[in-house]
Each structure stands twice: as C-alpha cells, then as structure tokens.
C-alpha cells in the first residue's frame, strides 16, 4: 500500500453538486440585487469556505452584506440538496478502498453542519474515519485540514493522497507536501487542473477507481 490515508473533497468529487452550488450562488445574488456571476465565476469558488466563496464570487460584495449573502445561499442550496446524487460508482469505490485497509477522510469547504447533513443523506458516514470542514480549519488552500488529518492518524505526507476536483484542493495538497489526484467531472476544467501538476487527471469515477487500484 503506497498511500495509507486517502482524503477526498466532497462537492464535485463525491457528490454531484457543482451545478446546484452555482445556481444557489446566482439565485442569492438576484435576491440581493447584486451582480450575478457567470457559471465559470461561480464554479471557480467551489471548495472554498462559504464566506470566502461568496466574497470571491461577488468581488464587489460589501463586507457587511456577507452574512446576508451566506444566509440566502444556504436557503437556496438546502432547499434541494436532498435531491442531489452521488457520482455513479463512488459508493463502491469507497467501500473497496475501506476493505483494502485504507484510511478514508473528507476535507471540504462545507460547514460541519453541512457535511454531517450530506453524510447522513448519502449513507456514506460509516466509510469515512474522519473529516475536516471550513468552519473548523482555515479554508483551502491552507494546509491545515490535511495537516490535522495526518496528525490524527499518525501518518506522514509521503503516504497521504488528496483527491479533488478544484485547484483549491490541489494547492492545499501542495502546501501540505502531499500528492494529489484531480478529477475533471466536478467544478474546475481539465486544462486548469493540469496547471497544478496533479499525479493524474481522471475523467470518471471508473478511471479514478482503476488508478487507485493500480497505484495506491
């Protein structure tokens, strides 16, 4: 086993939620009479902590309106999050990795409340041994989430692998001295992920599964 600890991003990597996040950001801007970001602008902030994401998606957002924007985003996203689907094959992939003896964890821009809700809806909670959220740690790409997970399980950066769909995930891995895999079926486009030099860019869960079985 080359990698003992496998750390997964959630939105856009495990859960097919990128489109719903983009729509929730755009609807929140309409509610508040703010400039509505394009799909590309809104999807770029996926993976950041919620307040940071709102500030980046709407650069002209006054600081005193950030809480209002966050509240509207939560309203729109949570109204439909129970209808979102896991990427096809991800449950079996995670089950196989757990059975093979890997430690599985989540590092996400979601809040603790949001991740717990998602784990409950998806029934994936028992497959993950730990997790870190943006309201408990510095937001990505700061390395704190990965550093805390490595410390929790007593593993080194050489045997830790980060798996995510955004540049924020890949930069966090770089900052923590950890190898990273990119998946291109989530929020950020293939060419943008390649710039951050992951071990591989994988286009489907099936490709991810094969890579991990052959290399992890």
Are 8 and 163 in contact, with CB atoms under 8 Å apart? yes
Residues shown for the chain: 216
Is 9 a catalytic site residue?
yes
The residue whose two tokens read 């950001």 is 25
Burial 88-97 (b: 16+ CB within 10 A, else e): eebbebbeeb
DSSP state for residue 127 in the 8-state scheme: G
Look at residue 25 and give its three-state secondary structure.
helix
Has 31 been annotated as catalytic? no
Distance between CA 109 and CA 73 in Å, rounded? Answer: 14
Please identify which of the residues 9, 169, 179, 209 carries the catalytic annotation: 9
Q: How far apart are the first and last CA of the chain?
A: 6
Q: What are the residues facing 46 on neighbouring strands?
A: 48
- Residue 29 to residue 60: CA distance in whole angstroms: 11
- The token duo for 123 is 């029934």
* Set 11, 52, 81, 165: catalytic member: 11
**C-alpha to C-alpha distance for 65 and 59, rounded to whole angstroms:** 12
Tell me the catalytic residues: 9, 11
């Amino acid at each position: 086993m080359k990698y003992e600890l496998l750390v997964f991003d959630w939105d856009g990597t495990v859960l097919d939620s990128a489109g719903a996040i983009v729509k929730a950001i755009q609807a929140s801007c309409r509610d508040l009479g703010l400039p509505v970001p394009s799909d590309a602008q809104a999807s770029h902030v996926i993976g950041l902590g919620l307040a940071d994401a709102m500030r980046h998606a709407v650069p002209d957002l006054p600081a005193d309106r950030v809480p209002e924007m966050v509240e509207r985003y939560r309203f729109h996203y949570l109204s439909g999050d129970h209808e979102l689907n896991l990427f096809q094959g991800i449950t079996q992939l995670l089950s196989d990795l757990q059975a093979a003896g890997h430690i599985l964890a989540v590092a996400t821009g979601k809040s603790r409340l949001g991740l717990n809700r998602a784990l409950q809806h998806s029934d994936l909670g028992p497959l993950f041994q730990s997790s870190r959220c943006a309201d408990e740690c510095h937001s990505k790409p700061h390395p704190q989430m990965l550093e805390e997970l490595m410390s929790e399980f007593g593993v080194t950066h050489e045997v830790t692998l980060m798996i995510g769909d955004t540049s924020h995930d890949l930069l966090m891995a770089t900052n923590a001295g950890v190898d990273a895999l990119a998946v291109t079926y989530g929020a950020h486009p293939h060419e943008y992920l390649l710039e951050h030099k992951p071990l591989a860019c994988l286009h489907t869960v099936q490709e991810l599964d094969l890579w991990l079985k052959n290399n992890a």
